Structure 1
């Protein structure tokens, strides 16, 4: 509390006729090196674009599991929301995809690696049936998987990617829900129930 007849220290220090001082007269201007959310999102998108277009798949390895077949395991930790891998294959429109699926049905030895999805009001399919060195097509199904699919646009072309739906430890099998609950599919592939 200020006593009567005394001036506040602020008025005394500046005085009536003294120059107005600014904080920057005493302290240098500092610019923040933090990036905005938009800058961070753009950088993250560019990184994922580069990984997809270059075909780089890191942090995973394929192992064989008796009675199950090939499976993909994490060789490093993934944090929730991290890009894991692209579900890579031929991008087809629905009419071409249905024709190809009918061809595959002729040969029971051919597995089905076709993933249908909606993008900008059109139905597309990524056909990953052709055997390649890419690992996204080998990630197995689980209703409680640790990955989930997400659409990623590169110059107007949709790509299906898998991202970590929770933190994933090194050595864990990578799994996602295929989403197919039709009676015919479950009859042909009982493992879809789990």
Structure 2
């Protein structure tokens, strides 16, 4: 994790190969309805939102990593920045080592990544209101 002009970012600590696991996006697993409620609450509070939505087995899930008190426990995934030309991609999987099995989200390399390169993922946020509020979603 590094601190740059725009804020925190995650840099590759070694050369990474296409398809290689990088990290998990850790946080509280919530339903899409709960995530939408929280997004509104966070916006009203002027708080940054770290909710990542994904699909698995025809269901939509969300991981909320917003709670700053848990940030250290949740690892670097929440600090991976957005790009429309990312070098990482999210991969959903069912963790069958837990009972009951739990949907999870990790980031893997979309391409080879050199040591020191910033790790980036497409947040896939295309909601017109979100894009209007954060135009960088379509230009970074």
Q: Does the residue aligned with 2:37 lie in a helix, a strand or coil?
A: helix
Separation of aligned partners in 2, 1:127 and 1:87: 9
Q: Does the residue aligned with 2:85 lie in a helix, a strand or coil?
A: coil
Separation of aligned partners in 1, 2:23 and 2:40: 28
Paired position in structure 2 for 1:146: 87
Segments of 5+ residues of structure 2 without an aligned counterpart are none
Separation of aligned partners in 2, 1:123 and 1:96: 12
Question: RMSD in angstroms over aligned alpha carbons?
Answer: 1.3
Q: Does the residue aligned with 2:11 lie in a helix, a strand or coil?
A: strand
Deviation at 1:136, TM superposition (A): 0.2
Separation of aligned partners in 2, 1:70 and 1:120: 33
After TM superposition, which residue ranges in structure 1, 4 or more long, deviate above 4 angstroms?
none
C-alpha contact (below 8 Å) 2:55/2:92 kept by paired residues: no
- 1:80 pairs with 2:18: yes
Q: TM-score, normalised by structure 2?
A: 0.87
Between Structure 1 and Structure 2, how many residues are aligned?
Answer: 131
Separation of aligned partners in 2, 1:70 and 1:104: 20
Task: Report the more deviating stretch, 97-106 or 138-147.
Answer: 97-106
- More relative contact order in 1 or in 2 (CA 8 Å, sep 6+)? 2
Deviation at 1:142, TM superposition (A): 0.7
Deviation at 1:83, TM superposition (A): 0.2
Segments of 5+ residues of structure 1 without an aligned counterpart are 1-61
Q: How does 1:98-109 map to 2 (within 5 A)?
A: 98-108=36-46
Deviation at 1:75, TM superposition (A): 1.2
- 1:117 pairs with 2:54: yes
> Cα deviations across residues 92-141 of structure 1 (Å, max 9, x unaligned)?
12232233223212211x11111122222322110011121211000001
Q: TM-score, normalised by structure 1?
A: 0.64
